[in-house]
Amino acid sequence: MNVKIYGHGTSRVGVRQITPKIYWICHCIGEHAAQHNGGFAAEFARVNPMLDPDANDIIYNSFLFLDEKTFLIDTLSPAQHDTVIQAIDDILAGRKLDYVWISHTELPHAGNIEAIRRAHPELQVLTVGGHDHYEVHGLADAKQLNYGDKFELGEHTLEIIKPLFVDHALTQWVYEHKTGFMCPVDWALNVHNHHQCFRFMDEMEEVGYSAERFMHEVATTNRVVFSWLRWADPDKTEAAIDKFLTDYDIRIFAPSHTNVIRKDIPKYMSALREAMRMAIIGNYELVF
């Protein structure tokens, strides 16, 4: 596993190359995750025995496109202030950062925007349109985007798309046409143990993970994160997912809080589809 790691504990960031021009910038704590995160894995496993009782870590992701133009997706959180700047600068290797896109105004996604602006004062900040109080998040002069807006970087074309599932009332997703890269932001959160840090999903299978476990983790965690799912219609939700998967040729699935999926996409999309049904019809009293 070729990963470059910066810092440790709550500041720890790892960098991996997904394609020659797309980089995965990932925060996770590692072997001390239970100490920092409160050992929530045991509680998840109590609710669903299919889950790993030692999986106390949650991933925070950012992605950097290194094309004729450079484009950063989200910024990680303030706890990674120094390490994320160092990681970005090492990847850029002297180049300027042209764009940073904020999917929604929440600390794990927008928490380092001011630090990145100071390091790269010429960059253009992009974010979801329709908010008030942008200045609170360091986005006062950000360009507000609409669904369908596209950015030509060179070989890559990034398109802002409408999300199926929103973490905040105003959230956007992003899709890249050449590589089939899809960032669905907060959809599909999974947890991991310290043996699985910085691994692509296919590499996680080498240390005991599976699409079935992914399905159960998403079903359980989504009942916590997307509590409104209890009022959703499972059949309509599945139909919406099916249409989404038909509309977009996904070859790299890169959510904000999930290990990057670069292989066996149909297998994991099938697991994700079933996970959403399980989340909707599950017993919410067990997770609150």
> Residue 242: inside a domain, yes or no?
no
Q: How do 99-102 and 70-73 pair as beta strands?
A: parallel
The predicted structure's pLDDT at residue 129: 82
* Mean pLDDT value of segment 230-251: 96
Domain count, the chain: 1
> Residue 269: inside a domain, yes or no?
no
| pLDDT for residue 76 is more than 80 | yes
Domain of residue 122 covers: 4-204+251-260
Confidence of residue 50 (pLDDT cuts 50, 70, 90): confident
Coil, strand, or helix at residue 233?
A: coil
The predicted structure's pLDDT at residue 7: 97
HSE of 107, CA atoms in CB hemisphere, 13 A: 5
The predicted structure's pLDDT at residue 39: 85
The predicted structure's pLDDT at residue 208: 87
- The single-letter DSSP state of residue 229 is G
> Residue 233: inside a domain, yes or no?
no
Q: Tell me what the pLDDT averaged over the chain comes to.
A: 92
> Residue 209: inside a domain, yes or no?
no
The predicted structure's pLDDT at residue 284: 67
> Residue 195: inside a domain, yes or no?
yes
The answer for residues whose C-beta is within 8 angstroms of residue 87's C-beta and 6 or more apart is 4, 6, 13, 15, 25
Q: Which two tokens stand for residue 248?
A: 């977009």
> Residue 230: inside a domain, yes or no?
no
* Mean pLDDT value of segment 5-9: 96
Instruction: Give the pTM.
Output: 0.95
| pLDDT for residue 288 is more than 60 | no
pLDDT, tens digit (0-9, with 9 covering 90-100), for 180-226: 999 999 999 999 999 999 999 999 999 889 999 999 999 998 888 88
| pLDDT for residue 40 is more than 90 | no
CB 198 within 8 A of CB 3: yes
The predicted structure's pLDDT at residue 37: 87
CB 247 within 8 A of CB 175: no
Q: Among residues of the chain, what percentage have pLDDT more than 90? A: 75
> Residue 212: inside a domain, yes or no?
no
| pLDDT for residue 287 is more than 60 | no
> Residue 190: inside a domain, yes or no?
yes
* Mean pLDDT value of segment 3-22: 97
pLDDT, tens digit (0-9, with 9 covering 90-100), for 109-162: 888 999 999 999 999 999 888 776 677 677 778 899 999 999 999 999 999 999
Residues 110 and 11: their CA atoms lie apart, in Å, by: 16
| pLDDT for residue 237 is more than 60 | yes
Q: Among residues of the chain, what percentage have pLDDT more than 70? A: 97
Q: What is the number of other CB atoms lying within 10 angstroms of the CB of residue 43?
A: 14
Give the CATH number of the domain where residue 140 resides.
Answer: 3.60.15.10
Confidence of residue 286 (pLDDT cuts 50, 70, 90): low
The predicted structure's pLDDT at residue 11: 96
| pLDDT for residue 6 is more than 90 | yes
pLDDT, tens digit (0-9, with 9 covering 90-100), for 249-282: 999 999 999 999 999 999 999 999 999 999 999 8
